[in-house]
A and B are shown apart, each in its own frame.
Chain A
């Protein structure tokens, strides 16, 4: 993915400056030398050469005593750096469960040195965690696992998932049309392609959403569901596309 990005060979400090400008422009609409100096905790005089350098590279517009702004190219580069920063923060904080301030600090130092390849793999992993229907529960298991928390040497949960248990989890997969009033489940995926699927997605029925079948029309079709504060009516034919992991009946 790095092949088409402008390779500007920025030094670590220039990258940091660019990121600072990006944040300042975002939050305060303008960036001034002294704001940058304050944010990076350096003297204004040492900021100026860096600005000249960035301006030469065409990443910012900088004239004496003027506000500093990002050029489109600078904006893109800054966003890229910023995205790396956010990705790493997310990885440390949301996946590994490191406290926010430490996650931020680690992200700051790693964002410059991590290879594109390594970065790409972290992105892939995050992508996997958020797209895989199991992703959320894997993370939850990781966090709750007694082994990881160092509380115990033996696992108290179902670490060794047996074949029969796996079968059970498959058996728990039902389509929305098979639910009975009062039953519920969590969306795993939406089958099929095209406009129908897109419409279902547009209505907010996406993987991870908990759905309750509220009632069925007196005529037997359509059905009436509740999810995330919304209520929706859809035909059984459409409901068939929505696959759920059935929740235990109350």
Chain B
């Protein structure tokens, strides 16, 4: 292993170019992907070694062009312009070369060491497309590699080429943008050279000045009088071009990029694509997004995922449940009588009840993420956006809100991250604010605990669907409200690519599933373990002086334990907030669990587990659900589910909302607003419901 700083490789490409599969194939098992809660998401970095040299690969957000329109594009541009990677790997979709190569042209204005990666080359070949690679390499002046990312084909060669360009000092790029534009850029570059600006990427800065990109204009202006001169020069050149061509500059420049790409393709395409490889995909679309069938199929797919999660997931869930029950009984039985009872209580009532209560839901989490991964990888997500955009639009959201919101079913945090693809700040904020209403994976354990506790078996899947549906409906209502009040204004355009359906590879699906499941387990082993122990302590101490459970009569034990619990710190906190939550039908025990749920939603389940496990001292294996059923009416159960669905997004969500919105006020509004709505709704449901059902 090499100790010197690794070679920094930036992976750029448009969305759907298979950039991520290249990233995974390049970095292999040594990657430390942080694309999940709490970890920095925008910087996905992986490390690999090639012939003793370390390469650090950075996966830039996918963007169609380098600009500052959407946050993702801005990040990609910033990484290239400011962080100046040693090598830029441009991943393009070989089946859509014309469009993809425009990004390459822009990157050529930016970086000198480039490797072009023609991804999905198998699909391109199947369509009959043949490229003269050596010619392309010599025309561009840097290496070109054909790859099939998800199979890892061509990746060793890619590594080799990256290594070969990383120490090249001669710049052989050959970008031809037509005499007029090149002269124009040359003039601005000459003006920029008089300033103190970084010499790297001058051409790009010049192009951006020509386009009057505010970000770059500000930067150059900061350089003083010379900077002003360069800006003036750019303005002059722009005016000349616009007057002469009668086109606005953005159009003119884009045309020149396409001109370069067209010229290039004319030379290197030995045979253009002539076989339609999308026949099957198009046939599927003819049914899946059919005028009449589209919406029913969409609903069926969504329902199918919930069915999979709940009904199928219940089977392995039982096994895990039984295992923990067996474990706690075994420990209790094997424990030497009357010695270190505190420790036994900590292990059985604190740790096993808390962590076990959360781990039980692992199968459901795995299945939910399996469903989402398949939807994402197959390409159905963009169809769903196509089907739902009108509806979303009507409620002040955007077709692009769809993917973040569906991601929110997995976890709110990546959902909020995913709002970056949205260009309009108001659309983005609206989506962010209502995203916690998408019932996340961490809330699933709550539903799985509460629904069977309060509702008969036939209604389980329906109830689960209903809870998700209520969340969605509320999100729509709320976003409409936001767009009419705080976030009024112009909406962003909806222009979305529809990639062909692709068979999700087992590797990628399992990868995603394993990743999210592992993080769930890790959370259970760390945060939830810690909170379980804390909760155990809070519910155990201070002890009730006169209570000596061993001496008590058996009949008295039950109520005695609850008195102990009430006396504890947790009990007192619960009692303290009881007046506030009482209108919703909740008592202090639920209150304690709700507070715990603020740290992470699934903690609610372990909290109840700990409370009830301490309250119930007898070894009679009454499950938590039975106890809940005994203590609360279905009306309270429903009111509780509503409250947990809407109120208090978890800490991590608030933190990410603050970071992504750039301001605490949005996080505060999210927290306060949602909690207030939750309280009002739950109270209304409980109070009105109680009138009818006693």
Contacts and interface: CB of A to CB of B under 8 A. Distances in A.
Interface in A165-202: 190, 193, 195-202
B18 to A, nearest CB: 15
Contact of A201 (B96, B254, B496): B254
B172 interface: yes
Given A127-B180, A232-B498, A218 B291 contact: yes
B251 interface: yes
Interface string B287-318: 00111101100000000000000000000000
Contact of A206 (B258, B292, B494): B258
Contacts of B69: 195, 198-199
B174 A26 contact: yes
A235 B182 contact: no
Interface in B40-57: none
B170 interface: yes
Contact of A219 (B138, B254, B391): B391
Given A127-B180, A215-B289, A222-B386, A237 B498 contact: no
Contact of A222 (B64, B102, B178, B390): B390
A233 B183 contact: no
B255 A131 contact: yes
B254 A217 contact: no
Contact of B495 (A29, A199, A216, A221): A199
A235 B180 contact: no
Contacts of A136: none
A200 B493 CA distance: 10
B452 interface: no
Interface stretch (B23-31, B242-250, B363-371, B546-554): B242-250
A220 B386 CA distance: 11
A217 B390 contact: yes
A124 B386 CA distance: 42
A203 interface: yes
A50 interface: no
Nearest to A196: B493
Interface string B215-249: 00000000000000000000000000000110110
Contact of B387 (A193, A202, A219): A219
A230 interface: yes
A206 B255 contact: yes
A222 B389 contact: yes
Nearest to A2: B183
Nearest to A239: B495
A231 B170 CA distance: 39
Contacts of A222: 386, 389-390, 399, 494
A83 to B, nearest CB: 5
Given A217-B389, A220-B390, A204 B180 contact: no
B564 to A, nearest CB: 58
A200 B179 contact: no
Contact of B65 (A5, A26, A202, A237): A202
A232 B497 contact: yes
A15 B187 CA distance: 22
Contacts of B497: 203, 230-233
B179 A234 contact: no
A76 B193 CA distance: 15
Contact of A76 (B99, B186, B291): B186
B385 interface: yes
Given A233-B498, A237-B493, A29 B179 contact: no
B382 A233 contact: yes
A76 B254 CA distance: 23
A49 interface: no
Contact of A228 (B98, B174, B289, B390): B98
Contacts of A196: 493, 495
A1 interface: yes
Interface residues of A, number: 49
A230 B96 CA distance: 7
Contacts of A219: 387, 389-391
A26 B498 CA distance: 39
A104 interface: no
A163 to B, nearest CB: 25
A237 B393 CA distance: 12
B182 A83 contact: yes
Contacts of B170: 29
B389 A235 contact: yes
Considering residues A76, A193, A199, A234, which has the most beta carbons from chain B within 10 angstroms of its beta carbon? A199
B509 to A, nearest CB: 24
A79 interface: yes
A88 to B, nearest CB: 11
Contacts of A200: 495
Contact of B102 (A4, A195, A202, A221): A202
Contacts of B251: 190, 197, 201
A203 B64 contact: yes
B289 A201 contact: no
B179 A87 contact: yes
A76 B185 CA distance: 12
A198 B390 contact: no
B17 interface: no
B67 interface: yes
A55 interface: no
10 contacts: A130-B255, A196-B493, A215-B291, A217-B294, A218-B291, A218-B294, A224-B386, A224-B498, A230-B497, A232-B495
Interface of A: 1, 4-5, 26-27, 29, 76, 79-80, 83, 86-87, 123-124, 127, 130-131, 190, 193, 195-204, 206, 215-222, 224, 228-235, 237-238
Given A193-B248, A228-B99, 10 more contacts: A4-B187, A127-B180, A130-B255, A202-B67, A217-B386, A217-B387, A218-B289, A222-B494, A224-B498, A238-B494
Interface of B: 64-65, 67, 69, 95-96, 98-99, 102, 127, 138, 141, 170, 172, 174, 176, 178-180, 182-183, 186-187, 190, 244-245, 247-248, 250-251, 254-255, 258-259, 273, 278, 289-292, 294-295, 382, 385-387, 389-391, 393, 399, 423, 493-500
